[in-house]
Structure 1
Amino acid sequence: MSDFTEAIREARRERRAPKRPASPMQRREARWGYAFISPWLIGFVLFSMLPILASLVFSTLDFQLTAPEEAAFVGASNWERALSDPDTWTSLLVTLRFSILFLPLSLIFALGLALLLNSAHLKATNLFRVLFYAPSMVPLVAGIIIWQQVLNPQTGWVNRLIELTGVQATGTGGLRWFDNPVLVLFAFSFIGLWGVGGTMLVNLAGLQSIPTELYEAASLDGAGWWRRLRSVTLPLLSPVMFFNLVIGSVGILQYFVVPWVLFGDSGHPDGASRFLLIHFYQQAFAFGNMGYGAALAWFIFIVVAALTAVLFGTARYWVHYGSERP
């Protein structure tokens, strides 16, 4: 503990010490560094920063794609409309409902696959890694078309497997996954679980970075598989789980391709697939109201930023890093 305190004090003294002027070699290295990253900086300014600033300007205009010359300044009217529009809050509710269903399923499923592939008792682990990751390499639109057939109420094999349990799943009274406003969220979840290969690999990399000595010490103390998982694996894997949680949460708030391919910008007949980005796309591009669409885009950004801030705020209570000191 004293060595750690002394190291902190030494670091503070170095920060307070006056900085020495850079040597000619350091200045030359800095110039070369800026030269090498300049293509990325130019691309970021042209294709990211300027469009972001332009969208902020558009959010204050009555800007129609069909008549850009008639754009007029309206101030905060688009923001007020976005906050008072019932469709905005309905789409946010649909997005949150889907996130509550799918996000825990995807994280647990990916972690379970990683634990299985990290097991020393499993044979041909490399083959299974490829098989589990392969679906995430399939183009998303092609995968959606495949799942349309898999979940077909008449010929899909999911309904036929369900019928083996004695539940009528085909025919007029069968399970219509894409027509029922409740089942459609489960259909989206099936499609999402099919592509958790990337999350699985991240978990697998985290599992393989845990020192085996900790498992050996826990085994010598009489800890079983569940105790080792709860006391060793999950605490040391918590930074990886936190990363997957943040990425998954942001991804769900930007959920767009699957419902758009299945139902288009009009969405599910009962509004069950009207996610936030579907609402934004319909207003900005289908209706051509780019000013209101820009305000919706900033609304989505604020929601994503707020959720990310909440996740980072709670991370101190359950995320543990191996390099932490008491």
Structure 2
Amino acid sequence: MPRERPTATVTATATPAPTLLVTGANGQVGFELGRSLAPLGRVIALDRGHCDLADIGQLRGVIRHFAPDVIVNAAAYTAVDKAEIDSDLAFAINGTAPGVLAEEASALGALLVHYSTDYVFDGTKDDAYTETDTPAPISAYGRSKLAGETAVLHGEASALVLRTSWVFGSHGNNFARTMLRLGCDRDRLRVVADQFGAPTPAALVADVTAHIVARHWIFGSPSAFPGGIYHLTASGATSWHAYALEVLRLAAALGVTLKVDPARVEPIGTDDYPLPARRPANSRLATAKLSRTFGIHLPAWQDGLHAVMPELVSQLPRS
């Protein structure tokens, strides 16, 4: 008789699901991160009430308590005009707190993903800004966000800074929602036409974040993670005025009865609509580095707006 071949029993050891901690859970991007990161592990999404970035002691305590494998900082002080007179708080949340997160991430060996903004640039460049262009913020908000970038990247944590612009979504306040509301309430609108950027869906920012975390952290080697600054916006560019017209066009196509006629949406210059904080005239961000490094295709900004508009319309008050 042939001899029986020896057999062995192999016991598989399951790898514990990673813990991903999200700050700013009630913000536009934070809200979407709860969805996009869920397949990757245990997501702990904290709002300001449970994780206030202005309270450094609480912030350190929260990070040490949960000991996450990944920290995604979607919290920020975003009141651009108010920051001009409330700069101390803006810098505490946008500048100091990200540095603390970097320190805690380094101690844990965790990945830190932090979001920044087109406002770190002065907007005077003719072409889209690249990651190697020198920042020159022209507002307190922009300076506070640049301080946060510097704190994160000068730390020892494995860290990624994603700069984005003109974020919108179905959750929270944003330009698209405002234009939809005003278009229903007013018979005339005046919208700035000499500032340009790429309206970027919060869902796109969250989905790209999840893709990067999954590909280069959860399933890859942390030591090989290609950190640094990356620009993340939808493809293409438009002005605030043209953006408003597209919002109204889509709303009308979805059956919304608008009070304003598109012909009465007046294009104006920045100087015709003065605000406490200066805005960059050019907010276009080049995204080739992100696409090249992570193999990501970024859809046109119109695609994201088309996807979000039905939900924004459904949220309109019923008459």
TM-score by length of 2: 0.23
Question: Which structure has the larger Rg over C-alpha atoms?
Answer: 1
User: Which has the larger helix fraction?
Assistant: 1
Determine which structure has greater relative contact order: mean sequence separation of CA pairs < 8 Å that are 6+ residues apart, divided by chain length: 1
TM-score by length of 1: 0.23
